[in-house]
Chain A
Amino acid sequence: MEDIEGAQVELLSGGDMLVRALQDEGVDLIFGYPGGSALHIYDAIFRQKGIKHVLVRHEQGATHAADGYARATGKTGVVLVTSGPGATNAITGIATAYMDSIPMVVISGQVPTDKIGEDAFQETDMVGCSRPIVKHSFLVKNAEEIPEVVKKAFYIASTGRPGPVVIDVPKDVTNPVDRFPYKFPEKLRMRSYTPAGKGHTGQIRKAVALLLSAKRPVIYAGGGVVQGDGSALLTELAQRLNYPVTNTLMGLGAYPGTDKRFLGMLGMHGTFEANTAMHHADVILAVGARFDDRVTNTPDKFCPSAKVIHIDVDPASISKTITADVPIVGTVQSVLSDMLEMLKSADEMPDQSAIVDWWRQIDDWRERHGLYTAPRFRTDGDMIMPQEVIRAVHEITKGDAYVTSDVGQHQMFTAQYYLFDKPRRWINSGGLGTMGFGLPAALGVKMAHPEAEVVCVTGEGSIQMCIQELSTATQYHLPVKILCLNNQALGMVKQWQEMQYEGRLSNSVYEESLPDFIKLAEAYGHLGMKIEHRDELHGKLEEAFAIKDRTVFIDVYVDPSEHVYPMQVMPNGSMRDMWLSKTERT
């Protein structure tokens, strides 16, 4: 067929159009799971070459894998599921991506248009279910709109503050019989969506002046710096000024973890030096961070003497919980580079003697209770301490692995002790705190970086939430390391129960019901390795990490009584109010 200008136009079915549009959008990888409403789409996938489809074992796994892939690469992760249970199974993963602002497009099959609203078999209102946890969603009404919807979905998901976008596709729209002219739009016009670009020059100038006047500055950088590819600029800025930097849980790697200006993570399980420096700061430069309640502790007591500069691509993040003195809306990259330009041409310099004093003070805090000056965990017992496992893995992987994690104590130990020097290496569910994230995310990362070392640090609780993905690892030959810090309990829950509920361990232990993870791994065709004694830790870890072509499940028995410290005092604590051990408080 020819269009009005006489050019050849291809006629495609809705299903073929969808797949073609994904190809034209540059998609080469989809994580998904088939079912009735998605079968036309699956058939279109079967008949093409450009896109690889990874069959997971549960739709939640598909979303986390696509999410891990997106975090590791900066590209948009793509998920395909069927209607009803397929779609609802994807919900947790969509919410996870939403909370951490991860670009993702989720295509869900839907019952045929004429059945919508009739409680048809496997019908769920996916647009409705996902509404509070998506950046946007589309219900496709006819096949002709597919190319534009796809283009819009990827544009929305990946620009501004990124996030998940759902495309719900009724089955009749993808039927193989009806064919329509296919044309992928070159440009998009969206009058109602203009993501932030450059920051306001006047505001940036104010921010620079405030930064230069600081006597006790702290740079507080979050996931936005990682997502917005602003790490190099942030590093340049901090080093030029010689100002201390702390990263949020989501921001780890945004600033080199082994640099001396790095104070460690801040917040609930942040370092003593980071939280104390924040509390005493006079100027805080917040970049791509959102003053989450796990960071600020009690907002009224947050950093009493600080003036706050807040750079964020999302205006709604600014002054949401903590009022910004100098708000700047713009991409991290453009604002930081403008700031650097101004700093380079400024006549003023920071007050060197004040900065020297500030560093002296910070070094004193580090000396007293810092996590990295001396081991803050027992090093003399027989029990393996979880912290030393992470330190050993850091050493063995030369600090250069992609590390995904689940949620709990093991996650915090990893955040504290695996010092990430590069962005996109630390991949965890910070905002939603989704147990089950780690393994599928690791598979997504491994798909993106087949040659890289990928480690999933997990707990015996979390790993069981998406353990079925061990089978996906077998099918696609994804040799990742699964490092289970086995404390035989829902450790983080248990820690809270010990600290706040007089040790009543309500439903946080398993009463001898844990599976033999080694046998389980072997049942899926993987290698299993158990580490129980302190003296074998290093040797066995090295052995495990020397294996490059098999998935290895490393089950490390760690001290079950260990808690994560520091831990901010709650409720009503300020940033500097912390438990430093079971008995010491600031």
Chain B
Amino acid sequence: MRRIISVLMENEPGALSRVVGLFSQRGYNIESLTVAPTEDATLSRLTLTTIGDDHKIEQITKNLNKLIDVVKLVDLTEGSHIERELLLVKVRATGAQRDEVKRSVDIFRGQIVDVTSNMYTVQVSGTSEKLDAFLQALGEHTIMEVVRSGVSGIARGEKVLSV
């Protein structure tokens, strides 16, 4: 099952490499990874998505918790949560295609953020599933370049992950 694990860790050099190293060392896979400082400059927030059964996920969270730099973590997929990913995609847009692309962008509530006479750059955000669906709707032939941010997530309601 796909999981979103959200980690608060010390904003120290080397902390990120310890997390990434743990995954390769123990043979866990990382589907996506995002990391940035939080409002407290001494802390970074790292979100990673991974796939595994309950046993594997338990091992992953236990081993992450063992890292000295990790302050707290939560498996967001255990409760209701909001997940977002940002997609930037350059698509070929000439002639009739221009309107068609625009329609898809509207359906997926995206925005065209750059244009030339031959292409659009489109920005869409949402769950990874939605982004997948958007890319599929565009079709392979129109896509020139894809950039995805990886998943960020936060729990719904009043639950917060903080020190």
Cβ of A495: which chain B residues have Cβ within 8 Å of it? none
**B contact residues around A193 at 8 Å (CB):** 68
From B69, which residue of chain A is reached at the shortest CB distance? A192
Q: List 5 A-B contacts (CB under 8 A).
A: A128-B17, A132-B21, A139-B14, A193-B68, A315-B65
Q: Is B143 an interface residue (CB 8 A)?
A: no
**B58 at the A interface (CB under 8 A):** yes
Task: State the Cβ distance, B74 to closest chain A Cβ, in Å.
Answer: 15
Does A314 lie within 8 Å of B69, measured CB to CB? no
Chain B residues closer than 8 Å to A139, beta-carbon distance:
13-14
Residues of chain B from 17 to 62 with CB closer than 8 A to chain A in the complex: 17-18, 21, 25, 55, 58-59, 62
**Complex alpha-carbon distance, A316 and B13, angstroms:** 25
Known A-B contacts A132-B21, A137-B14; the reply to A314 vs B71 at CB < 8 A is no
Give A128 to B21 CA distance when docked, in angstroms. 10
CB of B69 within 8 A of CB of A127, answer no
Q: How far is the CB of B22 from chain A (nearest CB, A)?
A: 8
Q: Are A314 and B14 in contact (CB under 8 A)?
A: no
Complex Cα gap A127–B70 (Å): 17
Say if the beta carbon of B89 comes within 8 Å of chain A: no
Partner of B55, one of A127, A128, A131, A319: A319
A394 within 8 A of B: no
Does A530 sit at the interface, judged by CB under 8 A? Answer: no
Residue of B nearest to A317 (CB): B62
- Of all chain A residues, the one with the shortest Cβ separation from B22 is A132
Which chain A residues lie closer than 8 Å to B9 at the CB level? 192
Q: Is the CB of A316 within 8 A of B66?
A: yes
Is A320 engaged at the interface, CB distance under 8 Å to the other chain?
yes
The bracket for how many chain A residues form the interface is 10 to 19
- Name the one of A156, A192, A316 contacting B10, with C-beta atoms under 8 angstroms: A192
**A135 CB within 8 Å of chain B:** yes
Q: A127-B14, A137-B14, A320-B59 are in contact. List 5 more A-B contacts (CB 8 A).
A: A139-B13, A316-B62, A316-B65, A319-B55, A319-B58
A136 B68 Cβ-Cβ under 8 A: yes
Q: Quick check: B62 and A192 within 8 Å, CB to CB?
A: no
- Minimum distance in angstroms from B139 CB to a CB of chain A: 43
- Whether a CB of chain B sits under 8 angstroms from the CB of A191 is yes
Residues of chain B within 8 A of A323, CB atoms compared: 55
Q: How far is the CB of A188 from chain B (nearest CB, A)?
A: 12
Residues of B within 8 A of A192 (CB): 9-10, 68-71
Using a CB–CB cutoff of 8 Å, the interface residues on chain B facing chain A are 9-10, 13-14, 17-18, 21, 25, 55, 58-59, 62-63, 65-66, 68-71, 163
A131 touches B17 (CB 8 A): yes
A314 touches B66 (CB 8 A): yes
CA distance A319 to B63 in the complex (A): 12
Known A-B contacts A131-B18, A139-B13; A191 and B163 likewise in contact (beta carbons under 8 Å): yes
Instruction: Kindly report which residue of chain A lies nearest to residue B21, judged by CB atoms.
Output: A131
- Chain B: which residue is nearest A160 at the CB level? B66
- 5 A-B pairs closest in CB distance: A316-B62, A192-B71, A136-B68, A132-B25, A315-B62
Bound complex: CA A193 to CA B62 (Å) = 13
Query: Is there contact, CB below 8 Å, between A316 and B71?
Result: no
Please indicate the chain A residues that have their CB under 8 angstroms from the CB of B63 in the complex: 316
A52 to chain B, nearest CB (A): 30
Which residues of A, 184-230, contact B by the 8 Å Cβ criterion?
Answer: 190-193
Cβ contact within 8 Å between B62 and A156: no
Report the separation of the CA atoms of residues A489 and B71 in the bound assembly, to the nearest whole angstrom.
50
Interface-centre pick from A131, A135, A139 (highest chain B CB count, 10 A): A131
Inside 8 A of A128's CB, which chain B residues have their CB?
17
Contacts of A136 in B (CB 8 A): 68
B68: which A residues are within 8 A, CB to CB? 135-136, 156, 190, 192-193
Interface string of A308-346 (1 = CB under 8 A from B): 000000111001100100000000000000000000000
* B71/A191 in contact, CB under 8 A: yes
Inter-chain CA distance A135–B69, complex, in Å, is 11
- Chain A residues with CB below 8 A from B59, complex form: 316, 320
Interface core residue of B21, B59, B68 (most chain A CB under 10 Å): B68
Complex CA gap A411/B68 in Å reads 34
Q: How far is the CA of A131 from the CA of B68 in the complex (A)?
A: 12
**Distance to closest chain B CB from A304 (angstroms):** 19
In this complex, which of A137, A191, A316 has the most chain B Cβ atoms within 10 angstroms of its Cβ?
A: A316
Closest to B42 in A: A191
Tell me the complex Cα distance, A131–B20, Å. 11
Residues of chain B lying within 8 A (CB to CB) of residue A131: 17-18, 21
Q: How far is the CB of A420 from chain B (nearest CB, A)?
A: 30
Q: Mark A478-508, 1 if CB is under 8 A from B, else 0.
A: 0000000000000000000000000000000
Closest Cβ–Cβ distance, residue B50 to chain A (whole Å): 16
> Which A residues are in CB contact (< 8 Å) with B69?
192
The residue of chain A having its C-beta at the shortest distance from the C-beta of B71 within the complex is A192
With both beta carbons as reference points, the residue of chain B lying nearest to A141 in the complex is identified as: B13
| Chain A positions 157 through 196: 1 when the CB is less than 8 Å from some CB of chain B, otherwise 0 | 0000000000000000000000000000000001111000
Q: Chain B CB within 10 Å — which of A135, A156, A191 has the most?
A: A191
Q: Smallest CB–CB gap between A21 and chain B, Å? A: 19
Residue of B nearest to A165 (CB): B68
Closest to A316 in B: B62
Q: Smallest Cβ distance from B120 to chain A, in angstroms? A: 41
Nearest-neighbor residue (CB-CB) of B62 within chain A: A316
CA distance in complex: A128, B10 (Å): 18
Closest to A128 in B: B17
- In the bound complex, how far is the Cα of B64 from the Cα of A315, in angstroms? 11
Residues of chain A contacted by B55 (CB below 8 angstroms): 319, 323
Assembled-state Cα–Cα distance A138/B17 (Å):
13
A139 to B66, CA, bound (A): 19
Q: How far is the CB of A534 from chain B (nearest CB, A)?
A: 49
Query: In this complex, what residue of B is CB-closest to A192?
Result: B71
Cα of A63 to Cα of B123 in the assembled complex, Å? 55
- Distance between Cα atoms of A135 and B67 in the complex (Å): 8
How far does the Cβ of A99 sit from chain B's closest Cβ, in whole Å?
13
Docked complex: A129-149 residues within 8 A CB-CB of B: 131-132, 135-137, 139
